[in-house]
């Protein structure tokens, strides 16, 4: 298993980073949160999980070992593959997922694209004794939707856009975000990139 990669950030895309390791560019699939912490030309260290399929080898990257461990544990539930596990971590931090499972919070899981009501109920049952207890203290009154503007802005800056361009893109997708019950940063990032591409 490749436990982590450490090197210079060679390139960033909406859903992946390329880390140069010993002269080799390693493509690593990451959540918008993780990507927003990376800068091209700067050193980075990502905890990783290698997913092996018959036709592909895909490396998933995480901000820390805890996030990687939750990614692996999520896939022990039936019907959860690496893409859905990553989508869950794109919407919720590891502790938020632990809290959702511990408290039986269906709505938190339904906020993840690809999870419906029945799927959320099934996941709550299967994951109940697997994720463990939340590590941090609960954030009182902090909705899932809080902070999408900051996350999106940071992700765009991380992808190399100027502050003015990032501001305009965030403003362009604001109506879409405000219309959603729980804005998904990954979806908003794709929409923001489309508006920026049209403007160029």
Q: Tell me: the pLDDT tens digits for 158-198?
A: 677 788 888 888 889 888 888 877 777 777 887 888 887 76
pLDDT value of residue 138 = 47
Q: What average pLDDT does the segment 6-10 reach?
A: 96
pLDDT value of residue 192 = 85
Residues of each domain in the chain carrying CATH 1.10.150.20: 65-127
DSSP 124-158: HHHHTTTS-S-SSPP-TT--TTTTHHHHHHHHHHH
The position carrying tokens 């896939």 is 75
Give the list of residues 6+ apart from residue 199 with CB closer than 8 angstroms, or none. Answer: 165, 168
More confident call, 100 vs 199:
100
Are 60 and 71 in contact, with CB atoms under 8 Å apart? yes
> If pLDDT is split at 50, 70 and 90, which confidence band does 29 have?
very high
CA 20 distance to own-chain centroid: 21
The rounded distance, in Å, linking the Cα atoms of 137 and 71 is 21
Residues of each domain in the chain carrying CATH 2.40.50.140: 4-62
Are 98 and 131 in contact, with CB atoms under 8 Å apart? yes
Average pLDDT, the chain: 85
Give the list of residues 6+ apart from residue 178 with CB closer than 8 angstroms, or none. Answer: none
The rounded distance, in Å, linking the Cα atoms of 24 and 111 is 37
Q: What average pLDDT does the segment 82-104 reach?
A: 90
Query: Domain 148-199's class?
Result: mainly alpha
Are 67 and 89 in contact, with CB atoms under 8 Å apart? yes
Q: What average pLDDT does the segment 59-67 reach?
A: 93
At the topology level, CATH places domain 4-62 in OB fold (Dihydrolipoamide Acetyltransferase, E2P) (2.40.50)
pLDDT value of residue 198 = 67
- Say if residue 74's pLDDT is above 80: yes
Could you tell me which of 195, 180, 159 has the C-alpha nearest to residue 91? Answer: 180
Q: What average pLDDT does the segment 5-20 reach?
A: 94
At the topology level, CATH places domain 65-127 in DNA polymerase; domain 1 (1.10.150)
Residues of each domain in the chain carrying CATH 1.10.8: 148-199
Q: What average pLDDT does the segment 44-49 reach?
A: 95
């Amino acid at each position: 298993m490749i436990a982590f990669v450490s090197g210079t950030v060679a390139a960033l895309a909406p859903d992946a980073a390329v880390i140069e390791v010993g002269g080799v560019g390693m493509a690593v699939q990451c959540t918008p949160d993780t990507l927003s912490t990376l800068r091209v030309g700067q050193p980075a260290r990502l905890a990783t999980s290698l997913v092996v399929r018959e036709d592909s080898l895909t490396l998933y990257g995480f901000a820390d070992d805890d996030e990687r461990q939750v990614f692996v544990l999520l896939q022990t539930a039936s019907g959860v593959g690496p893409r859905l596990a990553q989508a869950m971590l794109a919407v919720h931090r590891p502790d938020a997922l632990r809290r959702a499972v511990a408290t039986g919070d269906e709505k938190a899981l339904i906020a993840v694209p690809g999870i419906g009501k029945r799927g959320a109920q099934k996941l709550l049952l299967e994951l109940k004794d697997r994720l463990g207890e939340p590590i941090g203290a609960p954030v009182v009154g902090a909705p899932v939707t809080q902070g999408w503007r900051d996350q999106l802005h940071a992700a765009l800056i991380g992808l190399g856009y100027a502050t003015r361009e990032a501001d305009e893109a965030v403003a362009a997708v604001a109506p879409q975000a405000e219309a959603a019950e729980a804005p998904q940063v990954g979806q908003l990032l794709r929409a923001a990139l489309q508006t920026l591409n049209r403007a160029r």
